[in-house]
Amino acid sequence: MLEILTTGGTIDKVYFDKKSNYEVGDPFVEELLHKMNVNISFKVKSLMRIDSLDMTDIHREVILKYIINSNANNFLITHGTDSIVETAIYLKKITDKTIVLTGSLKPAIFIDNDAIFNVGSAFTSAQILNNGVYIVINGQVFNPDNVRKNLEKNVFETIN
């Protein structure tokens, strides 16, 4: 069984008021996967609903302990993109499970979002990749040790 952990971030942001402010809403991933007729067993657990700029090592430790104590071996984590790399590196302490983190650069509620593509890519990747921690976004699988979010281009890219 694939276990999906949600933490918040842009992927789950919804309009909050007329000033174009957003807040993190309910996770959209479970509804999306049901609409897409996903035919394998998965479980969704919302661990937190925060903007990734507010993510601290205390939050990362919650994620780490949850994964360590879970009977599942394959995980997909939805996460805000601003600190997804830091969380992925933190989770590298776990070496006997497959952990894939993904997020989006636009909220899933936007018609032109990247959330659906990223979740689909990450969902499949979490099933087929070897044990380890990965970031799957923008159609690529990244090693957390050599990836960054390019704010100017609004994409993730490999660094050397």
Q: Does 45 or 29 have the greater pLDDT score?
A: 45
Q: Return the SS3 of 154.
A: coil
pLDDT attached to residue 148:
96
Average the pLDDT over each of 15-19, 44-48, 110-114 and give the range with the smallest value: 15-19
For residue 2, give both structure tokens: 């694939």
pLDDT attached to residue 35:
78
pLDDT attached to residue 146:
97
What burial letters (b/e) apply to 9-46, b meaning 16+ CB within 10 Å?
Answer: bbbbbeeeeeeeeeebbebbbbebbeeeeeeeebebeb
d(CA 136, CA 149): 12
d(CA 53, CA 81): 9
**H or E element at residue 150:** strand 147-150
* pLDDT, average across residues 34-56: 88
* pLDDT, average across residues 71-100: 96
Q: Return the SS3 of 53.
A: helix
Beta-bridge mates of residue 8 = 50
pTM: 0.88
Could you give all domains of the chain from N- to C-terminal order, each with its CATH number? 2-158 (3.40.50.1170)
d(CA 160, CA 145): 9
